[in-house]
């Protein structure tokens, strides 16, 4: 425990204006009294909210935390009286006030704002762009972040900013396009940031553009293969039928028995060539 206080105590506090403090949700934040030591006669009060209700008090040897809303979340520094709020939540944001009652009265205010943890932005290929020119050397991308507020989403090429988009109040999804060449050797990164933190996703063009284009090429390649197979089958069938028909016709002609030539009989014999005639008969056979 702390029983011994330094007799000489520097009771100097500097701030007259309120401090703005930003903190990530779930983190801890310390509101500093700026005292090096608590003076023997000092009574330090911490108050919260519009109603200025007492949430923590420290004097000499005693600490109290009267407000249930901050149950188990508050800590006071024995030496300086600074207040730490742990595992901070939305309901703990707002106005805090420090009041030092002693030989010299002083007070100080703090404004605590909270930021949510940022997700890592996601980069995907944007197939909706330029599908009409698949032979293009360019790859259209989009970087996005969902359910964010008070953030900026930006594309960087090396260290220089290419583009950015911001959102303030509403919790929405943001997305930002980029067009790069497949062979581009520059480093691109997509950055999501709020005033106190940021998340970076580096672009790997090989991964995002080419792997995906391979996936896209695969079905096309299959279609070509299947078409080629079906096509050769049809050709083989036509040639085969053609041969059969020729032989058949020859035999028919030699026998001069036309009643048996229904299968290969040309519809308009005088005008059309043999091949055409045979071809016309194929569907009839099937
Ligand atoms: C390809 O992208 C580059 C930027 O990376 C752009 O300057 C160029 O105009 C684009 N070309 C086409 C054909 O879209
Ligand atoms: C980019 O992705 C490819 C394919 O996944 C991988 O082989 C390569 O190492 C990656 N490059 C970088 C710089 O991460
Ligand atoms: C939206 C988009 O990126 N459009 C591009 C498609 O490709 C043409 C050139 O082929 C570009 O001029 C467009 O900017």
Q: If you classify domain 12-115 with CATH, what class do you get?
A: mainly beta
| DSSP annotation of 226 | H
Question: pLDDT-derived band of residue 45, with 50, 70 and 90 as boundaries?
Answer: very high
Determine which of 3-7, 18-22, 25-29, 219-223 has the lowest per-residue pLDDT on average.
3-7
Nearest CA to 208 out of 119, 122, 120 is that of: 122
Crossing angle of helices 274-285 and 212-255, in 10° steps, is 110
CA of 142 to the centre of ligand 3 (A): 14
Question: pLDDT-derived band of residue 243, with 50, 70 and 90 as boundaries?
Answer: low
Write out pLDDT tens, residues 170-217: 778 899 999 998 888 899 999 999 988 999 999 999 888 864 444 455
Question: pLDDT-derived band of residue 272, with 50, 70 and 90 as boundaries?
Answer: very low
- The reported pLDDT for the residue numbered 8 is 35
Angle value at C-alpha 30, between 28 and 36, nearest 5 degrees:
150
Q: If you classify domain 122-217 with CATH, what class do you get?
A: mainly beta
| Phi, psi angles (nearest 5°) of residue 4 | -100, 120
Q: What average pLDDT does this structure show over 1-25?
A: 54
Residue 46 pLDDT greater than 60, yes or no: yes
Q: What average pLDDT does this structure show over 250-260?
A: 54
- CA distances 95 to 41, 76, 84, 91, Å, are 26, 18, 14, 11
CA of 206 to the centre of ligand 2 (A): 6
Determine which of 85-89, 148-152, 240-244 has the lowest per-residue pLDDT on average.
240-244
| Phi, psi angles (nearest 5°) of residue 21 | -125, 130
Half-sphere exposure of 165 (CA within 13 A, CB side): 13
Half-sphere exposure of 70 (CA within 13 A, CB side): 25
32 vs 10 pLDDT, higher one: 32
* Atom nearest to 184 CA in ligand 1: 5
- The reported pLDDT for the residue numbered 40 is 85
Residue 3 pLDDT greater than 80, yes or no: no
**DSSP labels, 64-90:** E---GGGTTTEEE-TTT--EEE-S--G
- C-alpha 250/C-alpha 255 separation (Å) is 9
180 CB near ligand 1 (under 6 Å): yes
- C-alpha 124/C-alpha 204 separation (Å) is 10
- The reported pLDDT for the residue numbered 60 is 78
- C-alpha 178/C-alpha 163 separation (Å) is 9
Neighbouring C-beta atoms of residue 31, cutoff 10 Å: 20
- The reported pLDDT for the residue numbered 264 is 44
CA of 220 to the centre of ligand 3 (A): 23
CB contact burial 205-239 (16+ within 10 A = b; e otherwise) = beebbeeeeeeeeeeeeeeeeeeeeeeeeeeeeee
- C-alpha 102/C-alpha 274 separation (Å) is 118
129 CB near ligand 1 (under 6 Å): no
- The reported pLDDT for the residue numbered 170 is 75
First to last CA, the chain: 101
Residue 275 pLDDT greater than 60, yes or no: no
- The reported pLDDT for the residue numbered 74 is 96
- C-alpha 258/C-alpha 85 separation (Å) is 105
Nearest CA to 56 out of 40, 36, 75, 39 is that of: 75
**DSSP labels, 202-222:** E--HIIIIIIHHHHHHHHHHH
Write out pLDDT tens, residues 125-176: 988 776 556 556 788 899 999 988 889 999 999 999 999 999 887 778 899 9
Which of 135, 181, 187, 188 for a ligand 1 pocket mutation test, highest count of atoms within 8 Å of Cβ?
A: 181
For the beta sheet containing 138-148, the strands, ordered from the edge strand earlier in sequence to the opposite edge, are 122-125, 138-148, 172-181
* Atom nearest to 130 CA in ligand 1: 14
């Amino acid at each position: 425990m702390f029983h011994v206080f330094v007799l000489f105590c520097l009771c100097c506090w500097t701030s007259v204006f309120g401090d703005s403090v930003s903190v990530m949700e779930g983190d801890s934040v310390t509101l500093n009294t700026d005292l090096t030591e608590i003076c023997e006669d000092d009574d330090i009060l911490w108050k919260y909210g519009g109603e200025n209700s007492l949430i923590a008090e420290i004097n000499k040897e005693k600490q109290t935390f009267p407000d249930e809303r901050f149950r188990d979340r508050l800590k006071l520094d024995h030496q300086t009286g600074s207040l730490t709020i742990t595992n901070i939540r939305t309901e703990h944001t707002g106005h805090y006030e420090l009041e030092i009652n002693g030989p010299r009265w002083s007070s100080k205010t703090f404004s605590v704002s909270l930021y949510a943890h940022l997700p890592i932005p996601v980069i995907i290929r944007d197939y909706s762009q330029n599908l009409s020119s698949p032979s293009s050397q360019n790859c259209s991308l989009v970087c996005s972040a969902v359910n964010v507020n008070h953030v900026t989403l930006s594309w960087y090429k090396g260290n220089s900013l290419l583009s950015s988009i911001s959102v303030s109040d509403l919790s929405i999804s943001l997305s930002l396009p980029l067009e790069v060449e497949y062979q581009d050797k520059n480093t691109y990164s997509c950055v999501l940031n709020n005033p106190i933190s940021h998340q970076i996703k580096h672009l790997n063009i090989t991964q995002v553009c080419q792997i995906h284009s391979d996936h896209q090429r695969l079905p096309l390649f299959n279609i070509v293969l299947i078409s080629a197979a079906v096509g050769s089958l049809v050709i083989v069938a036509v040639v085969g039928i053609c041969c059969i028909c020729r032989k058949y016709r020859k035999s028919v002609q030699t026998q001069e028995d036309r009643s048996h030539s229904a299968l290969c009989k040309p519809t308009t014999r005088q005008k059309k060539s043999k091949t055409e005639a045979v071809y016309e008969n194929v569907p009839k056979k099937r």
